[in-house]
């Protein structure tokens, strides 16, 4: 194609810092429900951590450690996949 410059001659474009995309505060638009766990029933399978689309499951030393509500958008997936049925979705009182 005549007239097109090789990529080496193109002007350098702008750069977008990746951080906001890596840690979006999805908890800011939660559905109105939030997960609540009964830790006595947790078998530490971490399926909730695998399936949570927003990295809102906290894991400390390889063990389930609750939810990060700054990231949780209330999608209910963790409650649906928990084999111990120990996660319940409750009204989000803020």
Site for ligand SF4 (CB under 6 A): which residue of 24, 36, 66, 84? 84
> Considering the rule CB under 6 A, would residue 45 count as an interface residue with ligand SF4?
yes
42 lines the binding site for ligand SF4 (CB under 6 A): yes
- Applying CB under 6 A, among 7, 28, 54, 92 the residue interacting with ligand SF4 is 54
Are the beta carbons of 43 and 63 closer than 8 angstroms? no
Distance of CA 81 to the CA centre of its chain: 15
Three-class secondary structure of residue 82 per DSSP: coil
| Direct distance between the N- and C-terminal alpha carbons of the chain, in angstroms, rounded to an integer | 59
Contacts with ligand SF4, residue ranges (CB under 6 A) = 35, 37, 42-48, 52, 54, 56-57, 64, 67, 72-78, 82, 84, 86-87
């Amino acid at each position: 194609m005549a007239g097109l410059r090789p990529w080496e001659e193109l002007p350098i474009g702008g750069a977008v810092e990746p951080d906001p995309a890596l840690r979006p505060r999805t908890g800011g638009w939660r559905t109105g429900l939030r997960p609540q766990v009964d830790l006595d029933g947790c078998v530490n399978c971490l399926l909730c951590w695998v399936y949570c689309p927003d990295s809102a499951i906290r894991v400390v030393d390889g063990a389930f450690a609750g939810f990060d509500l700054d990231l949780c958008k209330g999608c209910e997936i963790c409650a649906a996949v928990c084999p111990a049925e120990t996660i319940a979705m409750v009204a989000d009182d803020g």
